[in-house]
Amino acid sequence: MKVLANDGLAQSGVTALEAAGFEVILTTVAQEQLENYINEEGIDVILVRSATTVRQELIDACPSIKIIGRGGVGMDNIDVQYAKDQGLHVINTPAASSHSVAELVFAHFSGLARFVHDSNRNMPLEGETNFKGLKKAYAGGVELKGRTLGVLGFGRIGQATAAVALRLGMKVVAFDPFMDSASISLDFIDGQKIDINIDTISKEDVLKQADFLTLHVPAQDEYVIGSKEIETMKDGAFIANAARGGVVDEVALLAALESGKLSGAALDVFETEPKPAVQVLMNNKVSLTPHIGAATGEAQDRIGGELATQIIELLK
């Protein structure tokens, strides 16, 4: 059987699949050529990340496909229900990248709290000639310890982000329409473990309490954070979006940053991805990464292994 990993697959997954007798193809096929390639090669399994889409037309045109796999959590680039209705298996790896995304959120928050993102822009330009001026400009940072993290969307990634916050000494408040509470396990390097239970509260209360707000929600038809929600937030708060582009109104976000309502924002995903708005890219209160939440070696190894396990169980 043939597996096409069109957006790549970690060696852990390749090794496991090949050991089970699968042929793994790592060729990246252009979207417009995918139908012909799948049919010519007789592909049984197609694995994607966020770059490749698997829509109804492709599913209908490629009868050899038995499994569609997404290396990650969100599956908005796959017509999931239609595929299932046609008898296909649709799989993903909801737990594998959670901690990597959580660490990225806090890389952004830590940098924003101490102006690291902007200092790294200006030190190469002015560090030699304006050292004292830059030192003064970046002297008003804040600590994360003792602050409140608000989490919108308290699934696996939201809980992993909460765990990082708790380790830093932050208070955590969370909203999730499908969950009343969650138990967060804090595992330490020496084998000790602490479980902390967090009851979810209303979205409005999270917005009111959060010093730092992070979103971990699926793609939506409407903004989760718009001008109304931003007005509800604390003055000087920070926002991070490492979920999906389009859940934050970037126009409203930039307006809030310019007015001083918000102190900073972190974006790993964008409304117009893969061509983010220039106004977003150039704003010195925005910390930026190019959709790399799950892009760690550890996460990709876990993703590869989980995908391989599921494929083997389904087809062998």
Q: What is the CATH architecture of 98-288?
A: 3-Layer(aba) Sandwich (3.40)
pLDDT of residue 41: 97
**Exposed, middle or buried, 90 (CB in 10 Å: 0-12/13-18/19+)?**
middle
Using alpha carbons, list the distances in angstroms from residue 168 to 103, 200, 220: 12, 20, 31
- Residue count of the chain, please give it: 316
Packing angle, helices 297-315 and 98-113, rounded to 10: 160
pLDDT of residue 210: 98
Q: Considering the entire predicted model, what is its pTM?
A: 0.89
pLDDT of residue 95: 84
pLDDT of residue 91: 97
pLDDT of residue 76: 87
Q: Are 274 and 49 within 8 A, CB to CB?
A: no
According to DSSP, the residues that pair with 24 across neighbouring strands are 3
* Structure tokens given for 223: 């903004």
Q: Within 10 Å of residue 154's Cβ, how many Cβ atoms?
A: 26
pLDDT of residue 94: 83
Q: What is the CATH architecture of 2-93+297-315?
A: 3-Layer(aba) Sandwich (3.40)
Point out the residues of the chain with pLDDT beneath 70: none
Q: Where in the chain is the domain with CATH 3.40.50.720?
A: 2-93+297-315, 98-288
Enzyme catalytic residues: 244, 273, 291
